[in-house]
């Protein structure tokens, strides 16, 4: 599975932890879209890069991390076919995949602890979409 990850300065430290975790999973290839330091930067720049790549099918899934995750999720969900879910715990990370077929996991680097973040990424990458009634509901979201 091809994954793209990105953050702003507020999510940089957690991004690095999550990126290294994904690299240990032999079946995933991960691309780092930046940022590459804790220097202040504008989160929409990275959010657009990751979201566009997922929307265009270049990557199966994405991970975005900013201070709270709110800004990144606002940007990401502007893209056709992107279902970015801001998650704060294991329950929401699992259901983002099972019920919403999320293709971008969004987290807050100033909100989520390291251990939980790694477990959330693991769930996000390994949990299948249930389909069925959830697919019918997702179809109601799509617009022309």
Residues 32-72: tens digit of each pLDDT: 999 999 999 999 999 999 999 999 999 999 999 999 999 99
The Cα-based distances of 82 to 6, 20, 101, 129 in angstroms read: 15, 24, 10, 15
Q: Which residues contact 34 (CB under 8 A, 6 or more apart)?
A: 6, 7, 41, 45, 46, 49
Degrees, nearest 5: CA angle 124-52-36: 75
DSSP assigned state of 121: H
Degrees, nearest 5: CA angle 63-66-70: 90
CATH at 30: 3.40.1400.10
Active-site entry in 9, 48, 88, 99: 99
Number of domains the chain contains: 1
Active-site entry in 66, 85, 88, 134: 66
The residue range of the domain holding 115 is 2-141
Does 66 participate in catalysis according to the annotation? yes
* 88-139: pLDDT as tens digits: 999 999 999 999 999 999 999 999 999 999 999 999 999 999 888 888 888 8
User: How far is 23 from 41, CA to CA, in rounded Å?
Assistant: 25
């Amino acid at each position: 599975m091809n994954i793209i990850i990105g953050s702003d300065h507020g999510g940089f430290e957690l991004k690095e932890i999550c990126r290294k975790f994904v690299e240990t999973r032999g079946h995933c290839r991960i691309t780092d879209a930046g940022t590459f330091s804790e220097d202040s930067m504008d989160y929409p720049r990275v959010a657009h890069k990751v979201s566009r790549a997922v929307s265009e099918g270049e990557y199966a899934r994405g991970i975005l991390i900013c201070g709270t995750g709110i800004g990144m999720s606002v940007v990401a969900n502007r893209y056709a076919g992107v279902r970015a879910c801001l998650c704060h715990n294991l329950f929401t990370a699992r259901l983002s995949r099972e019920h919403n077929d999320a293709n971008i996991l969004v987290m807050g680097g100033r909100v989520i602890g390291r251990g939980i973040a790694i477990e959330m990424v693991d769930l996000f990458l390994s949990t299948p979409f249930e389909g069925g009634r959830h697919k019918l509901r997702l179809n109601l979201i799509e617009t022309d």
